């Protein structure tokens, strides 16, 4: 069990059964948006009365190069993109880590609801949810060499000292939706990376 604080606390009334997309979203990139769009298509075809429930992991981790943006910033980044994407009927929740995989699903259900459908590209996450009775849709990551989270963060870090915003948009625009880039530029969330130490970490 982690010594990290359980922040945020679980809601009194978690969402009803829906289509869950789980990720850290550090930051929101095209691998994430493709998965959310696929989940939306699945929802519209199979569970039209359900919500898309985007679940942000690692909500309580301290800020560092692996976790540069708070769960509130990630919620805002995602909602900004969703509002421009045409996807509706969604909920966003943030889930704190407990660093106890066997108990993860029961813990996460307090935030994203129970017994829905999970969209994921992570095999270990899939196995945990299947063992807990969930339906799971595995989605292969496209262009993984470019769209792993740590690679996107490293690219953003290398751009964090550049003042030419058009150059930032051009480079990051191949990895992230423009709405997320504009959010990071306007809030100072991009330039923050310049003060978070050196080097990235190939850990997702």
CA distances for 43 relative to 36, 87, 100, 154, 193, angstroms: 10, 11, 30, 33, 36
The Cα 168–Cα 166 span in angstroms is 5
What residues have CB less than 8 Å from 61, skipping those under 6 apart?
A: 4, 67, 97
Between 21-25, 40-44, 140-144, 197-201, the lowest mean confidence (pLDDT) is in: 197-201
The Cα 135–Cα 153 span in angstroms is 31
Q: What pLDDT score does 144 carry?
A: 65
CA distances for 189 relative to 8, 39, 180, angstroms: 21, 28, 10
The answer on pLDDT for 57 being more than 70 is yes
Q: What pLDDT score does 140 carry?
A: 80
Q: What pLDDT score does 201 carry?
A: 46
Q: What pLDDT score does 2 carry?
A: 54
Same domain, 91 and 44: yes
Does residue 12 belong to any structural domain of this protein?
Answer: no
Write the pLDDT tens digit of every residue in 126-170: 999 999 999 999 988 767 667 789 999 999 999 999 999 999 999
Same domain, 56 and 73: yes
Q: How many domains does the chain have?
A: 2
- Domain boundary among the residues 138, 160, 186 is at 138
The answer on pLDDT for 199 being more than 80 is no
Same domain, 96 and 156: no
Question: Which tokens in the block code for residue 97?
Answer: 């880590």
Write the pLDDT tens digit of every residue in 169-190: 999 999 999 999 999 999 999 9
Task: Indicate the pTM of the whole model.
Answer: 0.91
Q: In what order do the strands lie in the sheet with 135-138?
A: 90-94, 52-56, 19-23, 117-120, 135-138
Does residue 13 belong to any structural domain of this protein?
Answer: no
Query: What number is the average pLDDT over the span 73-89?
Result: 95
Same domain, 126 and 157: no
Three-class DSSP category at 127: helix
Same domain, 57 and 112: yes
- Domain boundary among the residues 138, 154, 178 is at 138
Q: pLDDT averaged over the chain?
A: 92
Domain that holds residue 170: 144-195
């Amino acid at each position: 069990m982690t010594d990290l604080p359980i922040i945020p606390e679980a809601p009194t009334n978690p969402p009803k059964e829906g289509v869950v997309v789980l990720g850290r979203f550090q930051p929101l990139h095209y691998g994430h948006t493709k998965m959310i769009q696929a989940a939306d298509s699945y929802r519209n075809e199979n569970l039209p009365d359900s919500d898309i429930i985007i679940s942000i992991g690692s909500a309580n981790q301290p800020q560092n190069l692996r976790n540069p943006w708070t769960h509130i910033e990630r919620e805002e980044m995602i909602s900004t993109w969703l509002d421009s994407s045409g996807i509706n009927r969604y909920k966003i929740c943030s889930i704190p880590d407990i660093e106890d995989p066997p108990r993860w699903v029961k813990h996460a259900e307090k935030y994203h609801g129970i017994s829905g459908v999970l969209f994921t590209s992570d095999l270990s996450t899939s196995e945990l949810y299947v063992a807990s009775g969930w339906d799971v849709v595995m989605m292969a990551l496209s262009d993984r060499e470019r769209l792993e989270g740590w690679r996107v963060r490293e690219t953003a870090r290398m751009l964090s000292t550049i003042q030419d915003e058009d150059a930032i948009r051009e480079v990051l625009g191949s990895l992230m939706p423009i709405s997320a880039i504009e959010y990071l530029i306007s809030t100072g969330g991009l330039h923050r990376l310049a003060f978070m130490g050196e080097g990235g970490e190939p850990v997702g």
